[in-house]
Chain A
Amino acid sequence: MSYDLLKTKNLTKVFESGFLRKTYIKAVDNVNIFLKEGEVVSLAGQSGSGKTTLAKMILRVLEPTSGEIIFKDKNIWRDLKGLKDLKWYWRNVHIIFQNPFSNFNPFYKVDRTLQQALELIGIDPDSHEGKQLIREALEVVGLRPDETLGKYPHQLSGGQLQRIMIARAWIIKPKLLLADEPVSMLDVSTRGKILELFLKLRDEQKTTVLFITHDFGLAYAVSDRVMIMYRGKIIEEGTPDEIFFNPKHKYTKELIESVPMLYRKWKFEL
């Protein structure tokens, strides 16, 4: 339980734009994080703070400018060669994106997303076993297979689509699941149920979840550890209680202040 599943060393990503007069944007700036097996870690921060960039680099779809990402003693940008290694990595590290509607290609039925998962773990989607697994996964996330399979994305609701994404993660059973604001597009009543599914995944399969959010309230509710990201840097890290009751950085205080709560009127500073 104690070894690090994934860690980053001085991870930096600089976006450059322009041709003659170049402008540089440091999206992720010298980030050192570690993730242990079976924990839910939240990465909170405002939009544009580099959360998604960090997730994409960990997912190995966006190349970092400098720094290393080590997963199970392998530097993922240097040691993984060929599609076989990459498939191994993506079997272990998977992602759920923010917008349930853009997770699905509108030209295909939602089944495709789950069939891709089966292909990734080497099961023929047309086999009896594969079909059985898809139905099972859908039942785990609380969907009725007969009502879900064979539908196009626009025929289902955001909550249903996001559940299908979790079913995909359930089929793949990754060691690390990156959840990039998985509930921010959903209504509040659906949120709780989706969050429960993440915790279930953690409890049943020992999946580490990196939960990316801009909502400190959510981060506080689900995670074992919280990291606060601000302008590309991790400015604070600790258990939710530590950070909630004893925030050190000015931005963290603002973030906590901005969580709407019952029985408290919002104070606006004009």
Chain B
Amino acid sequence: MSITELLYVLFNNKRFMIGFGIILFQLLLSFMGPLLYPVDPFSTDNPPWTPPNEVYPLGTDRSGRDMLAMIFHGIRNSLYVGVLTGLFTIAMGLVVGLISGIKGGILDEILMAMTNIVMLIPSVLLAILIITYIGYENARLELVAFVLSITAWPGFARAVRSQVLSLREREFVYLSKIAGYNSLKIAFQDILPHLATFTLVSFVNYINLGINGEVGLSILGLTPMNIMTLGKILYFAAITQAFILGKWWTFIPAGLLQVLLSVSLLLIATGIDEVFNPRLRGM
């Protein structure tokens, strides 16, 4: 199948299309929003606790920050953290899994022992420790993504390793080997293409993990104070007791968008899986 054919099949998949549509909508919001509605999300010059009206479409919070501007900036930064987490996790998992699977032997033992140890570390605890050590004033979104991916890669690395172990016993790998190809060339030319769809699906899932993880860390107050994310909006709502005071406009829209983001990424992941995994087709 050529790339265009693949894309055609992919875009004919309902789940993928719905997920893709939602993501596209959110991307548009995050990039067009700040241009069409140029309000500083940290400006506190507005009246506090204003319900949605003509001047403030989504109202303001206790400090008078404009909710709509917060959401526009929040989606963008949340997606950024998510994609970064996905990239970090995939990169670490692929490197460890490929080396472990192809090289085998003592290197495999060491890497897998390491993977197992990391797997046992509770992710939130480690994140809290790292961020507290560095200090959340110095923490940037890149650090948040890194902290989240540090505990996420072992699962992916193990999956990659087991697939490599089965792939490297295939005849075409032997044939490449006896044509004088070294391990690196075999890894890139013969093995990686077989892992492509799995990697893509995992990447989407780890974006999801990054977005949700960022919300979790934000609610604990561990993410940078000067950068707006969806998690930060929920954090501000929590510390100003908006849940108790019933100021719904400060957390419902952000929460909904966050759920929508998660759902759309899951839909995309299952959509890709359905298209590329023939056993799931037509279900």
Q: Which residues in A have some Cβ–Cβ distance to B below 8 Å?
A: 56, 59, 61, 83, 86-87, 90, 94-95, 97-99, 102-105, 107-108, 113, 116-117, 119-120
A113 in contact with B175 (CB, 8 Å):
yes
- Residues of chain A within 8 A (CB-CB) of B194 are 107
A116 in contact with B179 (CB, 8 Å):
yes
Instruction: A95 to B175: give the CA distance in the assembly, Å.
Output: 8
- List 25 contacting pairs A-B, 8 Å CB cutoff, sorted by A: A59-B174, A61-B178, A83-B180, A86-B180, A87-B180, A90-B178, A94-B178, A95-B174, A95-B175, A99-B171, A102-B170, A102-B171, A103-B171, A103-B172, A104-B172, A105-B176, A105-B189, A105-B190, A107-B194, A108-B189, A116-B176, A116-B181, A117-B179, A119-B179, A119-B180
Pick from A95, A97, A103, A120: contact of B180, CB below 8 A: A120
B190 in contact with A90 (CB, 8 Å):
no
- Residues of chain A within 8 A (CB-CB) of B177 are 61
A153 to chain B, nearest CB (A): 9
User: 12 more A-B contacts (CB under 8 A) besides A90-B179, A103-B175?
Assistant: A90-B178, A90-B180, A95-B175, A98-B171, A102-B171, A104-B172, A105-B172, A105-B176, A113-B175, A116-B175, A119-B179, A120-B180
Instruction: A98 to B170: give the CA distance in the assembly, Å.
Output: 11
Sorted from nearest, which 5 A-B pairs have the closest CB atoms?
A116-B179, A97-B171, A87-B180, A105-B172, A90-B178
A57 to chain B, nearest CB (A): 13
Q: Which of B146-184 contact A (CB under 8 A)?
A: 170-172, 174-182
B contact residues, range: 10 to 19
Given the known interface contacts A61-B177, A105-B190, the answer about A83 and B182 at a Cβ–Cβ threshold of 8 Å is: yes
B190 in contact with A120 (CB, 8 Å):
no
The interface residues of chain B, by DSSP majority, are classed as helix
Q: Which residue of B lies closest to A95 (CB)?
A: B178
The answer, yes or no, to whether B193 is at the interface (CB within 8 Å) is: yes
Instruction: A97 to B179: give the CA distance in the assembly, Å.
Output: 14
B112 to chain A, nearest CB (A): 13
- Residues of chain A within 8 A (CB-CB) of B174 are 56, 59, 61, 95, 97
Q: Which of B175-231 contact A (CB under 8 A)?
A: 175-182, 189-190, 193-194
- Residues of chain A within 8 A (CB-CB) of B182 are 83
Q: Which residues in B have some Cβ–Cβ distance to A below 8 Å?
A: 170-172, 174-182, 189-190, 193-194
A108 to chain B, nearest CB (A): 8
- Residues of chain B within 8 A (CB-CB) of A104 are 172
Pick from B170, B179, B193: contact of A120, CB below 8 A: B179
Q: Which residue of A lies closest to B175 (CB)?
A: A103
Instruction: A87 to B190: give the CA distance in the assembly, Å.
Output: 19
Which of B170, B172, B174 neighbours the largest number of chain A CB atoms within 10 Å of its CB?
B172
- Residues of chain A within 8 A (CB-CB) of B180 are 83, 86-87, 90, 119-120
Q: Which residue of A lies closest to B196 (CB)?
A: A107
- Residues of chain A within 8 A (CB-CB) of B181 are 116
Q: Which residue of B lies closest to A118 (CB)?
A: B179
- Residues of chain B within 8 A (CB-CB) of A116 are 175-176, 179, 181
- Residues of chain A within 8 A (CB-CB) of B172 are 102-105
Instruction: A103 to B179: give the CA distance in the assembly, Å.
Output: 13
- Residues of chain B within 8 A (CB-CB) of A61 are 174, 177-178
Instruction: A87 to B172: give the CA distance in the assembly, Å.
Output: 17
- Residues of chain B within 8 A (CB-CB) of A97 are 171, 174-175
Instruction: A45 to B132: give the CA distance in the assembly, Å.
Output: 66
Instruction: A97 to B176: give the CA distance in the assembly, Å.
Output: 13
Q: Which residue of A lies closest to B192 (CB)?
A: A107
- Residues of chain B within 8 A (CB-CB) of A83 are 180, 182
Instruction: A99 to B172: give the CA distance in the assembly, Å.
Output: 10
Instruction: A107 to B3: give the CA distance in the assembly, Å.
Output: 12
Instruction: A113 to B181: give the CA distance in the assembly, Å.
Output: 12
- Residues of chain A within 8 A (CB-CB) of B176 are 105, 116
- Residues of chain B within 8 A (CB-CB) of A86 are 180
B195 to chain A, nearest CB (A): 11
- Residues of chain A within 8 A (CB-CB) of B190 are 105
Instruction: A155 to B180: give the CA distance in the assembly, Å.
Output: 27
Q: Which residue of A lies closest to B182 (CB)?
A: A83
Q: Which residue of A lies closest to B193 (CB)?
A: A107
B278 to chain A, nearest CB (A): 13
Instruction: A86 to B183: give the CA distance in the assembly, Å.
Output: 14
Q: Which residue of B lies closest to A165 (CB)?
A: B175
Q: Which residue of B lies closest to A115 (CB)?
A: B179
B224 to chain A, nearest CB (A): 43
- Residues of chain A within 8 A (CB-CB) of B170 are 102
A175 to chain B, nearest CB (A): 14
A91 to chain B, nearest CB (A): 9
- Residues of chain B within 8 A (CB-CB) of A98 are 171
A12 to chain B, nearest CB (A): 20
Which of B178, B189, B193 neighbours the largest number of chain A CB atoms within 10 Å of its CB?
B178
B171 in contact with A59 (CB, 8 Å):
no
B166 to chain A, nearest CB (A): 12
- Residues of chain B within 8 A (CB-CB) of A94 are 178
A29 to chain B, nearest CB (A): 22
